[in-house]
Copies of this chain bind each other. A is one copy, B any other.
Amino acid sequence: MTMNPSFSPGVLSVLPLFYVGWSDSVLSPSEIQLIHEKLKSLEFLSDEDKAYLIKYTDPKNPPSKEVFQSWIRMLRKASKELNQKEKSSLTKIGLTMAKSSISHKPESLFESPKTQAAIEELENALGVEGVGSLQLLLNAVEDPENESPNLSFDSNQLCDFLDGDQKEIRDRIRQLLRDPFFKYEYIADKEKYREKTLHQLKALAEQGLGAYAFPTEFGGKNDVRGSIAVFEGLAYNDNSLTIKYGVQMGLFGGAVNALGTQKHQEKYVDDLAHARLLGCFAMTETNHGSNVKGLQTTATYNPADKTITINTPTENDSKEYIGNALHSEMAAVFAQLYVGEDCHGVHCILVRLRDKKGQLQDGIRVKDNGYKMGLNGVDNGKIWFDNVVVPVGNLLNRYGNITEQGTYESPIPNPNKRFFTMLGALVAGRVSVGLAGVSCAKTALTIAIRYALKRKQFNGNNPQDEVLIMDYPTHQKRLMPLLAKTYAYHFALNALADRYANAQEEDIRKIETDAAGLKAMASWHCTKTIQECREACGGKGYLAENRFTNLKGDSDIFTTFEGDNTVLLQLVAKGALTEFRQSFHNDGALAVLRFLGERVSNTIAEFNPVTTRNTSYDHLTDRDFHREAFRYRYRKLLLSVSSRMNDYLKKKISPFDAFSKCQEHMLELAKAYTDRYVLFEFRTAIEKCEDPSLKAILNKVCDLFALSVIEEEKGWFLENDFMEGSKTKAIRRVVSKICKELRPELRGLIDAFGIPEEVIGAPIAMR
């Protein structure tokens, strides 16, 4: 074997001592004195060696990071080639290294017992003797994580860029979650877990973290954007807390604040934001989850005493999965509002469930939903109302009011529009859940990639040297496109949160569509990513201590709550179709011509063999190509669904049946719509980045995102003649190539998520 020529045999012989000395010990001046004397007396060291070594015994002048890394690289390289016996002491390692570095001359100074004794004396002088320091050395040299990552960018800077405007809040949450009080632990017993989660919720609220979203005049901070960032930040840690926080502040608090009027805000907001008043959001019923319009619970106005009676008609119409049901004092109950003969559709009414002591009120029945796949720190339950009477003032009456005269009035006369306006006020939930999914994916990837940067399996070309699993191409292909997508959803959802926080009324409809699509796609991405990460960590991934158990179980329901993903994507497609028709309607014939014109240019592209067959790396990583592919897919699906729908309707098929027949097609459209949005927002974010090194790395991640999506959808692109087989094959190769290019940057890309060590938690991910 040949050694690194930049170290002389003499230096090599004592390098292990110096490395450990600098890693592990603080040297006193008298020890340093002793070391200098020893060094001078070692006859196998050249003067140059001595000068080099003495230089690095000065505590005021420690080796630079680069020098230290060069020692590590040397030691790591040597360590791989040493047998067990040669590794039994620091002195032996040094001597073996020294001997190996001398290519000629069979007998050497470094084999004499005298030399060995001299180095051992030095070892004592340095105070690094013993098994502990040996272990330290071996760990370090066997742990490539300590290797300088040679990143092309500064991961702290990237972290700042990801944090954006919300950096202060995000840092505040990070700091808070570092506190042992919030430390992740697996708690099997749901009662204990719920107790703990409740305490944590109260602690968060006491810190003022519940108040972000609410108006300042009622004790809040008037910072909706901040409240979303809080939720996103909590989701790195224990999601029972995240969800309980979301139920209390976002759903219950959101209902009171957005659906109620000033009197409700004055009465409740300060208390609920500080968790002095616990509440729940009683919307979903056992048989009505996605179909909120079909809720069965009734709220009947009684003109005689100006009250409202809340009633659950049959056993099966109970509210279900209601978070906070077992701890709440109050519920925001969604029910069909009857005034006189008329039903005015779903409205929200505050109903007291328990008194201040926690005693259930008459007519209220609550049943624990029991253990769940995850989120067992959240107390979900069923609630029945047996003709419970509340004052009419409990009606959250911003969008529908009962007057003093006992008549119903609303600023939005159209019941359908009213219904969607009420639900629209709660769209923050979808943005937040999407972001929580991204946070879970980030945590999972951080754990799996850190593990893959340590864990070795199977021998490579050198039989002594097992290969890091992160260096296997299949492992890269499993994890890295998921990492790229996680970046993409991060930017897209944060952009959406910004838009939401600054929205005017006329923007809300579009934001709802985008939020529905992103929540669906991001939550599926989360489920898929955690699953892949779990499997990528093998048996270790299966142990609860390594976090996937809870990450997976907790986030699994993200695909269902705040709207079932499949149902949401139907909404997205309907939104896209409506917008498409309106654009014709508003702009008239010109718009049609324009659209058709664009279509024609696509049609040309379809049959342009130069484009469909272009397999050059430059073309495939050209952002115009990506944009064009995403746009083409969206537009072509939009046109084809639209014309199918038109055909059905012309044939007098009912809209319900027509939508039914197009369901799958609409799912595809909704995915294409959302993918296009995500790519757009990712690119827009990169545009804003001023640092060239960050811009470069983000562009590469974005390329990987875009090409991964195209690769997944290659069947569609080929089917629709947008590309030929030679091109999709080339894309597969480019995806693998980009993975390889990004491989040395991986550590930085996960560090940039800024998840505190204490929050990552998993032993397999520890440095």
Contacts and interface: CB of A to CB of B under 8 A. Distances in A.
Contacts of A719: 714, 718, 725, 728-729
A477 B664 CA distance: 8
Given A287-B456, A458-B290, A661 B473 contact: yes
Interface string A538-565: 1101111100110011001101110011
Contacts of A190: 188
Contact of A556 (B534, B557, B559, B663): B534
A534 to B, nearest CB: 7
Given A84-B313, A544-B373, A538 B553 contact: no
A704 to B, nearest CB: 15
Interface in A371-394: 371-374, 376
A369 B544 CA distance: 9
B535 A565 contact: yes
A324 interface: no
B534 A372 contact: no
A538 B552 contact: no
B291 A458 contact: yes
A320 B457 contact: no
A534 B128 CA distance: 56
A566 B656 CA distance: 44
A640 to B, nearest CB: 10
A720 interface: yes
Contacts of A531: 527, 531
A545 B321 CA distance: 13
B660 A473 contact: yes
B474 A664 contact: yes
Contacts of A284: 539
Contacts of A663: 472-474
A186 interface: yes
A597 interface: no
A289 interface: yes
Contacts of A188: 188-190, 371, 376
A459 interface: yes
Contacts of A541: 560
A477 B667 CA distance: 12
Contact of A549 (B186, B372, B548, B660): B372
A542 B373 contact: yes
Contacts of A376: 188
A294 B374 CA distance: 37
A370 interface: yes
Contact of A294 (B455, B466, B714, B725): B466
A721 to B, nearest CB: 6
A297 interface: no
B544 A560 contact: no
A475 B660 CA distance: 11
A560 to B, nearest CB: 5
Contacts of A312: none
A62 interface: no
A30 interface: no
A518 to B, nearest CB: 18
Contacts of A553: 373, 549, 553
A657 interface: yes
A403 interface: no
A582 interface: no
A736 B668 CA distance: 15
A461 interface: yes
A559 B374 CA distance: 21
B291 A466 contact: yes
A473 B665 CA distance: 10
Given A715-B718, A719-B728, A373 B539 contact: no
With most chain B CB atoms within 10 A of its CB, the pick from A478, A556, A719 is A719
A654 interface: yes
Contact of A534 (B373, B654, B664, B728): B373
Contacts of A473: 660-661, 663-664
Contacts of A656: 459-461
A564 B543 contact: no
A298 to B, nearest CB: 11
Given A313-B84, A663-B472, A725 B718 contact: yes
A542 B560 CA distance: 9
Interface in A704-726: 714-715, 718-721, 725
Given A660-B473, A718-B719, A725-B721, A535 B559 contact: yes
Interface string A434-470: 0000000000000000000001111111000010000
With most chain B CB atoms within 10 A of its CB, the pick from A373, A374, A459 is A373
A294 B320 CA distance: 53
A474 B667 contact: yes
Contacts of A474: 566, 663-664, 667
Contacts of A667: 474
Contact of A369 (B475, B543, B732): B543
B557 A539 contact: yes
A428 to B, nearest CB: 21
Interface in A522-540: 527, 531, 534-535, 538-539
A288 B458 CA distance: 9
Contact of A543 (B372, B552, B725): B372
Given A291-B458, A473-B660, A660-B473, A720 B725 contact: yes
A374 B566 CA distance: 28
Nearest to A721: B725
Contacts of A566: 474-475, 478
A291 B539 contact: no
Interface in A346-388: 369-374, 376
B458 A545 contact: no
B556 A370 contact: no
Given A290-B457, A372-B549, A556 B542 contact: yes
A551 to B, nearest CB: 10
A539 B289 contact: yes
Interface string A628-667: 0000000000000000000000000010110011011001
6 contacts: A188-B371, A372-B543, A461-B656, A527-B531, A549-B553, A718-B719
Closest 3 CB pairs of A and B: A371-B544, A718-B718, A719-B725
Interface of A: 84, 186, 188-190, 284, 287-291, 294, 313, 320-321, 369-374, 376, 455-461, 466, 472-475, 477-478, 527, 531, 534-535, 538-539, 541-545, 548-549, 552-553, 556-557, 559-561, 564-566, 654, 656-657, 660-661, 663-664, 667, 714-715, 718-721, 725, 728-729, 732, 736
Given A290-B457, A321-B539, A369-B543, 19 more contacts: A189-B189, A284-B539, A287-B456, A289-B457, A289-B538, A291-B457, A291-B458, A294-B466, A370-B545, A371-B545, A373-B534, A373-B544, A461-B656, A461-B657, A474-B566, A478-B566, A534-B556, A535-B565, A719-B725
